[in-house]
Structure 1
């Protein structure tokens, strides 16, 4: 096990270095859009739209019902997507998967199969440097103490499969899940002690709880392999996610803090289901509005 982990550290660089390296060469983070927010568009249309808007990378959503759900994302479709990504000069740093660390036995088996299927998609998309996976953790904030030991055991089983597949899962704290704070997220990861388990940072979930931006970055960015960004209104008890620029987040401050902490990887817009499930949602308009807000703020960072 130690040898495998050492291999992950050295040979794979957590499977996320290409996006990081290109962004670092440009001197800052690269903006991306998660196709979680473009469920209604054909994949080729979604990729073309993101490139035309000016995004540097995209995240594929492998969740049920999405165009890139593994069982319906054929080998030919994967090859076409790889060719289109290259032609559009879009990078693919991450794959969204939907899993829970509080699942029953059937759910646990399903999660392990999900990881295996996602790893195959990752290899098909980029055999040399496969995109990583990212997921939330499930559960509820009030059940943390009762569930945390079981979550550790499930995460250990995830880590075994992920290490075997030679990739990384970056897990995310969520305002509505058992893992809702930087401290809980780090505690969970530290119990497993696998380089295959890292962090997805999403400040919107902390902002709703009144957690300081700088403090959350200080704790999590050293372990962060991927960033989601969106806005929000309300508090932990009652909230609504928004597009970047529609809420209270100061993105000049945000990108300045990322620069201070040396983060130069993907910053990817995640449109919440609270938004894209509303009647009249326009994925292209959402992508354009989000890019304008983030690119405008990023341009002001000295």
Structure 2
């Protein structure tokens, strides 16, 4: 089955990024759910489900095979979805699309077009405050030294395309990609030095490598514009992603740290393909379970 993790070696996602203030709850933090984990539901049902559960925002997955893939997500469908979001009082802070900094020239050209297409979706959904787009970066941890110069060059092209489209790309470290640590992520940002390139933070990938919560937040939150959250078990060599509350993360500690570092914006559940591709996966039950865990922790902090 084709999952985001499998995609890492050939394509990573990109992100169009802005300052996030939508749907802010206590301390400026709000909870969201990525529709990456609701592929089997219609877009309308997924949005309604998230609102009924109590989420403040959602992330759309523009990946191939999803109902919001740009080539099938028509202008009329985008307008309908935007109206439904407004009626449900759901914010749309982010879009997910997979491209790669380690792609060959042909795939890189397609990635630049993907950035442009996703930026158009963002404007169609909310012209006044377009959603951001986030991505991992591709490659493998062991090939970082050989690939990093080329990745920086690719990222420069991403930045130029994003600037032209008046959007921003948030890149995310992943335990299985060439960019697997805060230091590697920041190195790339330093090479490009563009406001169009920022950070998507996901602690689960650092926890698997023994990188502390405080250390990773201290390094990355100053450049972070979007957050994914999920749990995990195992280590960098062999791991399994889990729903929030099923692993090792202390979410009271987590939200306390976010507030101490001054983060304002959504914290969005990302259900891994390792989970949603399993037989019997129930997206509605998963979304309810995640919200209960995270809302309970956030209430204790607030």
TM range (shorter): over 0.9
The CA distance in 1 between the partners of 2:127 and 2:21, in whole Å, is 12
Task: Considering Cα pairs closer than 8 Å and 6+ residues apart, tell me whether 1 or 2 has the greater RCO.
Answer: 2
Equivalent residues in 2 for 1:156-167, closer than 5 Å: 156-167=156-167
Deviation at 1:264, TM superposition (A): 1.8
Could you tell me which residue of structure 2 aligns to residue 86 of structure 1?
86
Shift of 1:128: 1.1
Distance 2:265 2:124 in 1: 22
1:17 aligns with 2:26: no
Answer yes or no: is the 8 Å Cα contact 2:56–2:90 preserved in 1: yes
Write the deviation string for residues 169-202 of structure 1: whole angstroms up to 9, x where unpaired: 1000000000000000000111000000000000
Residue deviations 1:26-60 (CA, integer Å, cap 9, x gap): 43310000000000100000000000000000000
Task: Name the count of aligned residue pairs.
Answer: 287
Counterpart residue number, 1:187:
187
Residue 3 of structure 2 aligns with which residue?
Answer: none
Q: Would the alpha carbon gap of residues 161 and 235 (structure 1) be closer, same or farther in structure 2, given more than 3 Å must change?
A: same
Normalising by structure 1, report the TM-score: 0.93
> Does the alignment pair 1:196 with 2:196?
yes
RMSD: 1.1
Q: Which residue of 2 aligns with 1:51?
A: 51
| Residues 188-231 of structure 1 deviation map (CA, whole Å, 9 limit, x = unaligned) | 11100000000000000000000000010000000000000000
Matched residue SS, 2:198: strand
Q: Residues 141-184 of structure 1: CA distance to partner in whole angstroms, max 9, x if unpaired?
A: 00000000000000000000000011111000000000000000
Length-normalised TM-score, structure 2? 0.93
**1:15: how far off?**
2.5
Q: Distance in 2 between matches of 1:107 and 1:169?
A: 18
Which protein has the bigger helix share? 1
Counterpart Cα distance in 1 of 2:101 and 2:28: 33
TM superposition outliers: structure 1 runs of 4+ over 3 Å: none
For 2:206 and 2:73, locate their aligned partners in 1 and report how far apart those are by CA, in whole Å. 34
Say if 2:21 and 2:264, in contact at 8 Å, map to a contact too. Answer: no
Q: Which residue of 2 aligns with 1:37?
A: 37
Residues 70-117 of structure 1, C-alpha deviations (whole Å, 9 max, x = no match): 000011100000000000000000000101100001110110011011
Q: Deviations over 1:274-294 (max 9, x none)?
A: 000000000000000000000
Task: State the match for 2:135 in structure 1.
Answer: 135
